[in-house]
Structure 1
């Protein structure tokens, strides 16, 4: 991927207050000089989403005025490739001292630019690692092209704001930033008041959202019968509640990651939820196996719901598994919690009583 057009950090500083208008959360962290120099450095080394190049705070605080004026591609690539080497000599006086690492990381990036979706952070790099992990939003990067001026610049900024700074867009960024829980794991609050900590990882983050967000939005009186995770096959197993409603949930190979129950309706609903970070959606074969379980428990099939949960429509797991999803099942995205997709079978709609309530459903 080619480097972005060279832009002086002063140009970046000039445009930031226009791009991030008054009223944006943590606006000061997004428009101050430290932010302008941070975004300049993203552009300088080409750390743009999709380029597989990432920035760490060290690239910013070791930058100098002399280096920043070296604008050829070769000079910029040399800085990107060699800056982390102790032997690499950088001409001029450094912009900032080493202890500026924390304000760049914690304020400018995590509390400012990441919150508004201007910067993304790699989830596969441990929080304790010094490896570069940040990339600038590729559409935002285009707004700092020096050749983009006047009405064209104004229109481009307005278009980016309309797409990226709406309440729903910012809520989506916030949900996707829930992270992997680090070394301490992912805490989950269950409907009955219990709390558990799941192993760190993207699947646990989606499971947390299903229990805390999905269940409260779409079920009247939710309960968790079963929750499994890769490191602990049975993280939660409410055998007493399952037995009370006539469902045998002794561990079987076809059980999904989560089994929820809605005790609100006169006839309880059983909701089988498969969490997909990379693979493992509710397929027709698994749907048949789970129907056998509920048939044996005396449940009418109208009381059984199948859901596959993903982090986002852009997630690799969704793109990989969508073609194998079972008809008559639902899909829910953590990043768009108010909506749910129904894979409708044939021309007849499933009765609402047999599905999920309070939903904005795309069929």
Structure 2
């Protein structure tokens, strides 16, 4: 009878890198920590050392820094077991050539990749009973998570196992994944149909901008406005989809598409004094910056709107989206940010134009 190997097989680093974005799609909390290369290499080292739930083997973050490409290619049990011993021996591997990371990288591996990422999502378990100062290995792959890296899985089997494992994720993450996947399907090759607050349905061209516009009109408007109405809606090609000239006239707004209008203009007709809402849908660029806010505010003032009756909203798909991270420092004060993946929440950038300075207790 063939003897069972002392250590489990090790999937290739490229396979791990390729599957992490599938396991942790857009919408997952702390996704940047989970899909970057250092996460893949941390998982690789766990496989290499056999640190998988139920095996009673554990790693320390500094072991990830001590792996090299040459060592990773040595996959026989004897070679792996020797490296496991040497990588935790005091004084060993001090002047290691070709190491994956500098010794001080163990802190971000521990704090970001493991604690804030893989442990928080249930992909990695922590050894119980260890003191915080213990030098023993503390981390291992959760068994079902480790099974997702089996190279023998067919695409259908992998998809099914990933969907089952994602039950480990927080409810908010699962909801955001579903919303983003739904919008990705809507942003495909078929037209996007948008349901207006007044019951009308309009057709928009396929694409991510149309899908986000649909989310804003069907999600943001009813959640944050008393009596929402569409004043103006355009597509990314600047084609006008809807323009309510009669409503614009009633509220005093002059609509001319060649005036560089925003993607969406809403009006909240519920308050005694109507609220004008300018929304920019941000897929790659075009958020509401300070300059953009001033230009739109000038249009509102022409219609007789006072500053406190005008709102500015930048619409993004998700907080983890790269475009939001890139543009967040450019967003205007005294504006709002709405994320389609979290439709019941809004980010308020409260700036200096507020008449009275408020303490935190006043804002709660």
Q: Is TM more than 0.5 here?
A: yes
The 1-side partners of 2:311 and 2:180 are apart by 25
The 2-side partners of 1:162 and 1:44 are apart by 19
Match of 1:203 in 2: 209
Q: CA, structure 1 residues 253+163, in 2 after alignment: closer, same or farther (shift >3 Å)?
A: farther
Secondary structure class of the residue paired with 1:319: helix
Match of 1:47 in 2: 18
The 2-side partners of 1:234 and 1:256 are apart by 11
CA contact (8 A) 2:23 2:166 kept: no
Question: How many pairs were matched up?
Answer: 239
Match of 2:285 in 1: 279
CA contact (8 A) 1:276 1:309 kept: yes
Match of 1:94 in 2: none
Match of 2:341 in 1: 335
Question: Where in structure 2 are the equivalents of 1:17-96 lying within 5 Å?
Answer: 44=15, 46-49=17-20
Match of 1:99 in 2: none
The 2-side partners of 1:283 and 1:43 are apart by 40
CA contact (8 A) 2:25 2:177 kept: no
Q: CA, structure 1 residues 298+198, in 2 after alignment: closer, same or farther (shift >3 Å)?
A: same
CA drift of 1:210 comes to: 0.4
Bigger mean CA offset, 140-149 vs 196-205: 140-149
The 1-side partners of 2:292 and 2:307 are apart by 15
The 2-side partners of 1:201 and 1:343 are apart by 29
CA contact (8 A) 2:189 2:207 kept: no
Match of 1:265 among 268, 271, 275: 271
The 2-side partners of 1:6 and 1:264 are apart by 64
Match of 2:171 in 1: 167
Q: Which runs of 5+ in 1 are unaligned?
A: 9-39, 51-116, 122-135, 353-361
Match of 1:293 in 2: 299
Bigger mean CA offset, 172-181 vs 339-348: 339-348
Larger Rg belongs to? 2
Q: CA, structure 1 residues 219+157, in 2 after alignment: closer, same or farther (shift >3 Å)?
A: farther
The 1-side partners of 2:312 and 2:325 are apart by 19
Q: Which structure would you say has the larger RCO, counting Cα contacts within 8 Å and 6 or more residues apart?
A: 2
The 2-side partners of 1:347 and 1:137 are apart by 40
RMSD: 3.8
In the alignment, structure 1 residue 193 sits paired with structure 2 residue 199: yes
The 2-side partners of 1:252 and 1:164 are apart by 50
Match of 2:235 among 222, 229, 242: 229
CA contact (8 A) 2:223 2:344 kept: yes
Q: CA, structure 1 residues 264+170, in 2 after alignment: closer, same or farther (shift >3 Å)?
A: same
TM norm structure 1: 0.57
The 2-side partners of 1:314 and 1:231 are apart by 26
TM norm structure 2: 0.57
The 1-side partners of 2:35 and 2:172 are apart by 17
CA contact (8 A) 1:331 1:342 kept: yes
CA drift of 1:260 comes to: 0.7
Q: CA, structure 1 residues 349+341, in 2 after alignment: closer, same or farther (shift >3 Å)?
A: farther
The 2-side partners of 1:325 and 1:186 are apart by 28
